Structure 1
Amino acid sequence: MPQGLPKRIRFAFVTQALLASVAMVVGIVVVGAYVRDTLLDRWLDTEAAAFWANGGNAAELPRSALLQAWFVTPGDDPAAVPPRIRELAPGKHVALGDGEPRHVLLDRRAEGDLYLAISTHMVNRMAWLTALLLGGLGLLGIAVISWLTYRRSRLMVLPVNRLSDVVAQWNPNDWDAAMPVVLPYPLAADTSKEMRALSSALGGLATRMAEFVQRERDFTRDASHELRTPLTVVRVATDMMLGDPAVPAHMQRSLLRIQRAVQDMETLVDAFLILARERHVAPQTEEFALRDLVEEEVDKARALLQDKPVELHLVEHASPRLLAPPRVLSVMLGHLLSNACTFTEQGRIDVEIDTDEVRIRDTGIGMSEDTLRQAYDPFFRADQFNPIGKGIGLTIVRRLGDRFGWPVTLESEPSRGTLATIRFGNASVA
C-alpha cells in the first residue's frame, strides 16, 4: 500500500515534532529575552537602592567587570559620562557605550544624577549559551519521545495495514483461485484483542463470500446443462415439423417463432456456461477467419427481420484472422445483432469488419444518454413495450467482453440509431 497508514503516521509525527521544535525555540528566545531584561532591571534597581541607602557618596559607587557607575552632583561637569549615556532621560534604557551595548539606569534626584550601566555583551552570550543548551536538550527530548511514540504506534497499526493488504488482494470474483492468503493470517503474540477479533471477522466474511460465489457458479453451470436437453428436443422436433410438407403455412410461422426462441435460449445457455466456467478452464481457442464467423451470425440474424423493410449488409474493410474462442465471439455478435434487428423497424443494419474490431451500426430507435447509461443493467430494455427481448443481452455481452479482454462500446442517439463496437484487445490478430 504506497500511501499506507504507517507512512501517514510517520508524516504526522515528523510534522508534530517539527512544529513542537519551532514552538519551543521561539518560546525559549522570547522567555529568555524577557528573563534577561527582568534580571538586568532588578540588578540596576538593587544597586541604585544600595547606593542611595549609603548616603549617595560618590566614593561608594558600585563597580565591577560588568557594571559601571557615574555620579554627577548639581553644577559638576558630566564629561566623564560617555556622551550617548549622559544624553539619556531619567529611567531605564538600552544604549551603546564605547561601541558596546549596555543596559542603563539614570536615577535623577536632588543630590545628583546616578548613572548605572551594565555591559550586556557577556550577559547576552551567557543567555544564548543557556538557551542553546536548553533548546538542544529540548529538541533531543522531542526527537527521542517522538521516535519512541512513532515506533509504538507503528507496531500497533502495522497489523491493520497488513490485513488491509490481504483483503485488497482477495477478489471473490476472481475464479483463478481461492483466497491468495488464508484469513485470518498469523498474528504476532502482542497483537491487540481488537485486532484479533477484526482479523477473525474478516476471515469469516471472506469464507462466506467464497462459498456464496461458488454456490452461484455451480447453480449457473448445472442449470445451464439441464436446460440443454429440453432445448435440443424442442429444436429437433421443430426442425422435423418444418421439414414436413403437410404442415400448414400458419403452423410453419408458429414453428419458426418457436425455432427462433429456442435459438435465443441456446445462445443464452451458451453464454451462461462460458461465464460459469472457472477462469483457468478457458473455452476452446482456435485460429479462424473473422469474416466467416461474422457472416454466419449475419445469416442467422436475417431470419429475425421477417418482413421488416430493413436491409442487412456485411461490409469488410479488412480480413483479419483471430486466435480466440470463436463460440464466445459468436454469442456476443449474436446478442448485438439480435438487439439491432429487434429495435430497427426500417432502414438498414451494417456489420463492418475492420483490422481489430467489428462494428454493428443500425438506424433503429436509438437511446438517450440516460438510457445509454442503463443499457448494461440486467433486465433493462430501451423499449419497454416491445415483447421481444429479455433485457439481459447487453449485460451478457459486457461480461463476456470483460472476461476475455474484448471491450464493448455503445454510441447512440434517439431516432438516429446505435453503433456497437467490439474491439479485440487481447486477441491475436493474424
Structure 2
Amino acid sequence: MRHSLQFRVAAAMIVIVGGVCSMFAVAVLIASDRLEDRLLEEITEHEADEFVTAWKVGSEEPPDTYVPSAYVRTVLAPGPADPAVPDALRGLAPGHHDDIAWGDDIYHVYVRNPDGSRLYLAYEMTALERRETVFQWLIWSGVALALALATLAGALAARPTLAPIARLAARVRGLPAEARGLRLAPEFDTPETIAIARAFDRYLARLDDLIERERDFTTDASHELRTPLAVIRSNAELLSASVPGDARVRARIERINRAAEQMTELIEALLLLAREEDGGELVDLEALLHEIVSGPSLPPDSEDRLCLEVESPLAVRAPRAAVSTVIHNLVRNALRHAPAGEVRISLRRRRLEVADSGPGMPADVHRAAFDRGFQAGPSAGLGFGLYISKRLCDRFGWQIRLADAVPSGTLAIVQF
C-alpha cells in the first residue's frame, strides 16, 4: 500500500518518539525495580542485624514475634521445622525472597541463621506494590501522551515541512507543454528542493534538445517527402493526358496517382502527430464524406460498393488532414476486408459508423486491431491504418472502437 510523503514523515516522527519514550520507560522501570530490590535487601539485612543485637543483649529470652516497625515482622525459631514457623515461611532457604504471600499482604522475606537458630524477617510490600503499580501506570500514560503529542506534532509539522516539495511538484505539474528553456532551480531556496529542481532542469535540457532535433527532422521530412510526391503526381497527370486512348495505361497511371495521394495524406497525418498541434479548422463531415466516396483516392470500383447515409450534419474542429486520414483508413480497411461486398457509411448525431459485409473478426481481436503492425487475414495491409487512426482519435478526444456488424462483418465506430 502506498502512502504519501507527508504520512511517512508523520509516521516516522511517531515511531521515533514512541520508540525513544518506550525505551526510556523500560529503562526507568528496570532501574526502579533493581533499586527497589537493593534497598529492600539493605533494609531487611539492617533490621535483622538490629534484631539479633537486641536479642543477644537482652536479659530475657525474646518472644517469637518481634515488631521493630509497622512494616516489619520477625519470627525467631530454633529451626526451620519448628511449629512456630508460619506455613507461609516454612521451607524458605537462607537469603532474600520476593513476593511471599503471608495472610492478606505481600512480603519481602530475609532468612538467616543466627547462632544456630532460624530468623525470618518479613518486610511488608503491599503498599509499596500499590505505589509501584501507580508509578508504572504513570510511566506508560506518559508514553501514551507522548505518542499522542507526537501524532499531533507530526500532522502539524509534516505539511509545512514538505511545503517546498509540494510547491515544486505543483510547479512541475503546471509546466506548459509548449514552453522551452524553462529552469526551476532558481525558483527554490531549500537544499532538498534545489537538488530535485536541478535534476528536473537537466531532464528539461535533454528534452529541449530532443524536441529541437525532432522539429528539425519533421521540417526536413516534410520538405523532402512532399517534393518527390508532388513530382510523381504532376508527372502522372502529364502521362495520363499523353495517352488518352489507352485505358490500361490510364488505369495504371491512376493507381500511381492514387497511391501518391494516399502517401501525401499519410505524411500529413504523421507530421501532425509529430508536431502535436491540437488546433484546426471547422470540418464539415458530410461534405468530406461525399468527397471521399466520389474521390479518386479509393479503388476504381469502390464507389459502386459504398453506401453513404447522413442523418444529421456534423462539423468538428480539427485539422482536415486528421479527419480525412481517420475516415480514409476506416473506409479502405472495410473495402479491403469485404472485397466483393457492400460497405455502409453512416453519420448520425455525433457518431460515424463504417460497416463492411466481410467475414468479420473474433471479439478478442477488436482491441488488438489498433496495435502497431497488427495484421489479420490474407487481405490485411501493413497494419498501420487503424493504429494511426487510434492515435489521431486519442489526440482530439474522439472514441474509436470495433464491433460486430449485423448480419455479418465488422463495424468501426468513431464517437466525435
| TM-score, structure 2 normalization | 0.72
Change (3 A) 1:153 1:336: same
Report the Cα offset of residue 206 of structure 1.
Answer: 0.8
- Output one character per residue of 1:340-376: Cα deviation in whole Å (capped at 9) or x when no partner: 3234434443333343322323326747958954743
Report the Cα offset of residue 106 of structure 1.
Answer: 6.3
Q: Counterpart of 2:293?
A: 298
- Structure 2's unaligned 5+ residue stretches are none
Q: AA paired with 2:91?
A: P
Q: Counterpart of 2:273?
A: 275
Q: Counterpart of 1:14?
A: 14
Q: Counterpart of 1:182?
A: 183
Report the Cα offset of residue 253 of structure 1.
Answer: 1.3
Q: Counterpart of 1:68?
A: 73
Q: Distance in 2 between matches of 1:24 and 1:305?
A: 91
8 Å contact 1:17–1:143 — kept in the other structure?
no
| TM-score, structure 1 normalization | 0.70
2:349 to 343, 351, 355: 355
Change (3 A) 1:146 1:354: closer
8 Å contact 1:351–1:359 — kept in the other structure?
yes
Asked whether 1:408 is paired with 2:400, we answer yes
Report the Cα offset of residue 259 of structure 1.
Answer: 1.9
Report the Cα offset of residue 154 of structure 1.
Answer: 9.6
Q: Distance in 1 between matches of 2:245 and 2:215?
A: 42
Report the Cα offset of residue 242 of structure 1.
Answer: 4.3
Matches for 1:22-41 after TM superposition, within 5 Å: 22=22, 24-25=24-25, 28-29=28-29, 32-33=32-33, 35-37=35-37, 39-41=39-41
Greater displacement, 147-156 / 3-12: 147-156
Change (3 A) 1:40 1:420: farther
Q: Counterpart of 1:382?
A: 375
Q: Distance in 2 between matches of 1:324 and 1:307?
A: 28
Q: AA paired with 1:304?
A: P
Report the Cα offset of residue 72 of structure 1.
Answer: 5.6
Q: Counterpart of 2:324?
A: 330
Q: AA paired with 1:249?
A: A
8 Å contact 2:74–2:121 — kept in the other structure?
yes
8 Å contact 2:282–2:317 — kept in the other structure?
yes
Q: Counterpart of 2:387?
A: 395
Change (3 A) 1:320 1:16: farther
Aligned residues: percent identity?
Answer: 25
Q: AA paired with 1:335?
A: N
- Output one character per residue of 1:241-263: Cα deviation in whole Å (capped at 9) or x when no partner: 54677340111111110121122
Q: AA paired with 2:121?
A: L
Matches for 1:254-269 after TM superposition, within 5 Å: 254-269=252-267
Q: Distance in 2 between matches of 1:30 and 1:405?
A: 69
Q: AA paired with 2:13?
A: F
Q: AA paired with 1:116?
A: L
Q: Counterpart of 1:428?
A: none
- Output one character per residue of 1:141-179: Cα deviation in whole Å (capped at 9) or x when no partner: 9999999999999999876666555555557xx34x347
Q: Counterpart of 2:62?
A: 58
Q: AA paired with 1:322?
A: A
8 Å contact 1:96–1:102 — kept in the other structure?
yes
Q: AA paired with 1:217?
A: R
Q: Distance in 2 between matches of 1:418 and 1:144?
A: 66
Change (3 A) 1:305 1:90: farther
Q: Counterpart of 2:212?
A: 214
Q: Distance in 1 between matches of 2:49 and 2:266?
A: 109
Q: AA paired with 1:298?
A: V
Q: Distance in 1 between matches of 2:168 and 2:377?
A: 47
- Structure 1's unaligned 5+ residue stretches are 425-430
Q: Distance in 1 between matches of 2:230 and 2:149?
A: 79
Secondary structure, counterpart of 1:359 in structure 2: strand
Q: Distance in 2 between matches of 1:123 and 1:341?
A: 98
Greater displacement, 52-61 / 392-401: 52-61
Q: Counterpart of 2:128?
A: 123
Q: Distance in 1 between matches of 2:157 and 2:319?
A: 58
Q: Counterpart of 1:284?
A: 281
Q: Distance in 1 between matches of 2:343 and 2:23?
A: 75
Report the Cα offset of residue 404 of structure 1.
Answer: 1.0
Report the Cα offset of residue 406 of structure 1.
Answer: 0.8
Report the Cα offset of residue 36 of structure 1.
Answer: 3.4
Report the Cα offset of residue 419 of structure 1.
Answer: 3.6
- Output one character per residue of 1:34-58: Cα deviation in whole Å (capped at 9) or x when no partner: 6535643554355335534665663
Pairwise CA RMSD:
5.0
Change (3 A) 1:259 1:366: farther
8 Å contact 2:331–2:354 — kept in the other structure?
yes
Matches for 1:99-248 after TM superposition, within 5 Å: 99-105=104-110, 114-124=119-129, 126-127=131-132, 163=168, 166-167=171-172, 169-170=174-175, 174-175=177-178, 177-178=179-180, 182-188=183-189, 191=191, 199-221=197-219, 223-224=221-222, 227-228=225-226, 231-232=229-230, 234-235=232-233, 238-239=236-237, 242=240, 246-248=244-246
Q: Distance in 2 between matches of 1:96 and 1:87?
A: 7
Secondary structure, counterpart of 1:420 in structure 2: strand
Q: Distance in 2 between matches of 1:336 and 1:211?
A: 36
Report the Cα offset of residue 130 of structure 1.
Answer: 5.7
Q: Distance in 2 between matches of 1:144 and 1:46?
A: 46
